[in-house]
Amino acid sequence: MSDYHKGSWTVKVREAAVAALPPEKLLPDGQPTYVASWIYVFGVASVASLVVIITSGTILALKGPAWWHFTGVGHFFNSIHMWAVELFFFVMVVHLWGKYWMAAWRGGRARVWITGAITFLVAVPTALTGYVSQQNFDAQWISTQAKDGLNSVGVGAFFNVTNFGQMYSYHVLLLPIAVVILVSAHVLLVRRHGVVPPIELNARLAIAPGGEAPAPPPSTVGAGS
Amino acid sequence: MTHASVTAVMGAVFNLSHPAHVVHWSFIKLPLANVIVIALMLVAFALAIALPFPGAKRRRGDSS
């Protein structure tokens, strides 16, 4: 590589990306044995639910309110979208509880925990803007109730939940992008730092609080096993 | 089964023609449906902690 190319921003970005997340960390051969826990199934289920939410939401956005209100297939996709959201919150909160009690921010993993917690916080208005974008009496009721709530905390001038155009834009573009970016960052940070070891293992390895993450134990299970 | 009969059966099982049931305890006021979902989440969390993951013991055994 010539010196000219070494100064290129694409080379710098590539080298920084590979240094931060080398391929063997991004797509590892296996995981430590302590990853064999149901708590991580709830994390994966959150991502799976999000995929269903975005797929069904894209179809709803393509077809429009008349389709989701007045056709059988439209009703079906509307229900898929709503129940996938219910499932998303259910499994995400169980995963969040589990990671809270495991103190998953240990070993330099603060950003992993923070991106997960903020994903939950951003998902709440994403769901709310969906409920007020339904174009029915339910949406009218929820939006007027939410308007009172937002006014009471002093942010009603910024978010008009009775404005369908504004809420629909938030729901189908701005907030989903934020959720997808946060979830992507969360998963990549998990890959970078590794899954947090159990507290007992941490103590056995005599890791100081806030210290560097220990290397995974030599015995790992295959990613596909 | 026709659509009308399905609706009649489902209506008999899930009768929604009444005001929502609400759990009211001191300053806490929650719709019953939300209370049930929260309870189910707590059950799922307890099971996720308590139940062994399939093959976890074998994997740990292999590592020793």
A116 and A201: one domain? yes
Residue B34 lies in a domain: yes
Question: For A1-5, A62-66, A208-212, B10-14, which range has the lowest pLDDT when averaged over its residues?
Answer: A208-212
Task: Give the number of other Cβ atoms within 10 Å of residue B53's Cβ.
Answer: 16
Contact call for A93 and B41, based on CB within 8 A? yes
The CATH number assigned to the domain holding A156 equals 1.20.810.10
Residues 6+ apart with CB under 8 A from B44: A42, A90, A94
| Beta strands A30-32 and A220-222, pairing class | antiparallel
| C-alpha angle A184-A189-A192 in degrees, rounded to nearest 5 | 130
- What is the DSSP track for A133-184? TS-SHHHHHHHHHHHHHHHHTT-TTT--TT-HHHHHHIIIIIHHHHHHHHHH
Q: How far apart are the CA of B49 and the nearest CA of chain A, in angstroms?
A: 7
Residue A28 lies in a domain: no
Residue B62 lies in a domain: no
CA nearest to A38 within chain B:
B48
Give pTM, 2 decimals: 0.84
Chain A residues with CB under 8 Å of B56 CB are 33, 36-37
Q: What would the two tokens of residue A166 be?
A: 């504004």
Host domain of residue B37: 19-53
pLDDT in tens, A176-224: 999 999 999 999 999 999 999 988 777 776 655 555 555 555 455 554 4
SS3 state at A221: strand
**Residue whose pair of structure tokens reads 């062994």 in the numeric block:** B52
